[in-house]
Chains A and B, each alone.
Chain A
Amino acid sequence: MAVKQRIRRSMIFLNTQRAALVKDAFVYHPDCVIFDLEDAVAENEKDSARIQLYQTLKQLDYQGVERWVRVNALDSDLINEDIRAAVAGGAEGIRLPKTETAAEVKAAAQKIEAAEKEFGRTVGQTMLMAALESPLGIMNAYEIATADDRMMGIALSAGDYTRTMHAKRTVAGTELFGARSQMLIAARAAGVMAFDTVYTDTDNEEGFKEELRLIKNMGFDGKSCINPKQIGITHEIFNPSEQEIQHAEHVMEAVQDSKDNGVGVLTVDGKMVDIAWVEGAERTLKLAKAAGIYEGELV
């Protein structure tokens, strides 16, 4: 069953061509894995990776880690078989690369539905996520995010985006600021989740943490990862701190008290808050609970 809203702090790409990478990636406890059939797989190994994908989905217990499949592009002659294998194997979702229009999402959704019917799956159980990798994709982010009921989220893919923008990658990520902002606004308006691009300098832990803090503060739900050592760091930054959890608890309790007493504005931990803060506090506690660091009963 499709679960559109859940904890998805980390999504690690796995090259499905390589048996060693897909056999036990769940031991690193990512929230999601993305079995890659696209860029990471050599052209002459697409068939092999696809069969490895199917057998992995069918036979390995990923212990609650959500399993996504990055299929080949819509204009390739590979996507139909990619989707058939992924749906037959029971993947929770399909990540569509290089998405630029709502029509592409609809076309992918039709292929998924056909596969669900062919393999006796419940129609609608396979979710969709669209990767935005070009200026046009970013411009159409809202239409893409709302193109089909299967849409769980949209994700930025900075490599192709930077190239097509004639920009240079910088440590600070200045060149991505517009894309990140625009896609986040689109995701929130559409009610889907938003995921940031990979951080490729796997040896630069401080730089990675800085980028994670930036995207968390902007409002992203999670980060695409390329190395298992990035998973723990991602969770550490995305998890609410003890102080944030306590403050959220205080807000929830105080708002409840104020409702009981008919008061609209109140003070919590020395700051004025109103009813609008409840949603944020609730989200903090839900995230903390899903991450296993909050056991209270307020959410």
Chain B
Amino acid sequence: MKITTQAVAGTVESSDAQVMISPSQSDLKIDLDSSVYDQYGQHIIALVKETLKDLDVEGGEVKIIDKGALDCTIKARLQTAVYRAIGKKSDLPWEVL
């Protein structure tokens, strides 16, 4: 899956994460700004990579502002941003999300 347009999901409220995904000519680039970076930064980056891999996203620029979100929220915001970027809002493959 190729990211062709920029998309944003989530907020910068406490317990949430804001994800911006943009097209990029290069490989995947992840920029994480997290209020819990020291404790969970590597875990979040691994989660982002795994989630994008499951969605078959090969390249793009991902910027995440994390305000202490749980994994399920980070994953949800990332999936929302990707589906918004490709303009898909229904018939999602829920069984594999």
A residues sitting closer than 8 Å to B (CB atoms) are 18-20, 23, 46-48, 51-52, 54-56, 58-60, 80-81, 84-85, 88-89, 119-120
The answer for the CA separation of A47 and B14 in the assembled complex, in Å, is 20
Given known contacts A47-B80, A48-B80, A20 and B16 CB-to-CB distance under 8 angstroms:
yes
* B69, CB-defined interface residue at 8 Å: yes
Instruction: Known contacts A19-B73, A23-B73, A81-B89; decide if A119 and B94 are in contact (CB<8 Å).
Output: yes
Instruction: Verify A85–B72 contact, CB threshold 8 A.
Output: no
Q: Is the Cβ of B73 less than 8 Å from the Cβ of A88?
A: no
Q: How far is the CA of A48 from the CA of B84 in the complex (A)?
A: 9
Cα–Cα distance between A48 and B9 once the two chains are bound (Å): 7
Report chain B residues within 8 Å CB of A20: 13-16
The answer to whether A54 touches B14, judged by C-beta atoms less than 8 angstroms apart, is no
Q: Which of B1-42 contact A (CB under 8 A)?
A: 9-11, 13-17
Bits for B60-71, please: 1 = Cβ < 8 Å to A, else 0: 000000000111
Asked if residues A19 and B69 are in contact (CB atoms below 8 Å), the reply is yes
Known: A19-B13, A48-B9. A60 touches B94 (CB 8 A): no
**Apart from A23-B72, A88-B94, 7 more pairs, CB < 8 Å:** A47-B80, A48-B80, A52-B72, A55-B75, A55-B97, A60-B70, A85-B94
Contacts of A48 in B (CB 8 A): 9-10, 76-77, 80
Q: Report the separation of the CA atoms of residues A84 and B84 in the bound assembly, to the nearest whole angstrom.
A: 18
CB contact under 8 A between A51 and B80, given known A20-B16, A81-B89, A81-B91: yes
Residue ranges of B at the interface with A (Cβ–Cβ < 8 Å)? 9-11, 13-17, 69-73, 75-77, 79-80, 83-84, 89-92, 94-95, 97
Cβ distance B85 to chain A, nearest Cβ, rounded Å: 12
Chain B positions within 8 Å of A19 at CB level: 10-11, 13, 15-17, 69-70, 73
Instruction: Name the B residues within 8 Å of A58 (CB-CB).
Output: 72
Which residues from A are CB-within-8-Å of B11?
Answer: 19
Write the chain A residue with the least CB distance to B73.
Answer: A19
User: In the complex, which residues of chain B have a beta carbon less than 8 angstroms from the beta carbon of A80?
Assistant: 90
Whether B94 and A84, one on each chain, are in contact in the complex, defined by CB atoms closer than 8 angstroms, is yes
Whether B72 contacts A56 by the Cβ 8 Å rule is yes
Closest to B94 in A: A88
> Which residues on A sit within 8 Å (CB–CB) of B13?
18-20
* A-B CB contact pairs (8 Å), 5 listed: A18-B13, A20-B14, A52-B73, A81-B90, A119-B94
What is the bound-complex CA distance between A269 and B69, given in angstroms? 56
Chain B min CB distance to A286 (Å): 35
4 nearest A-B pairs in the assembled complex, by CB-CB distance:
A88-B94, A55-B72, A20-B15, A59-B72
Contact A55 B76, beta carbon cutoff 8 Å: yes
CB neighbours of A52 from chain B (8 A): 72-73, 76-77, 80
Q: Which of A47, A56, A89 contacts B83 (CB 8 A)?
A: A47
Is A54 a contact partner of B9 (Cβ separation < 8 A)?
no
Smallest Cβ distance from B8 to chain A, in angstroms? 10
| Cα of A59 to Cα of B79 in the assembled complex, Å | 15
Chain B: minimal CB distance from A139 (Å): 34
- The residue on B at minimum CB distance from A88 is B94
Among B15, B70, B83, B94, residue most surrounded by chain A Cβ atoms (within 10 Å): B94
Q: If the complex has contacts A48-B10, A51-B80, A55-B76, are A23 and B15 also in contact, measured as CB distance less than 8 A? A: yes
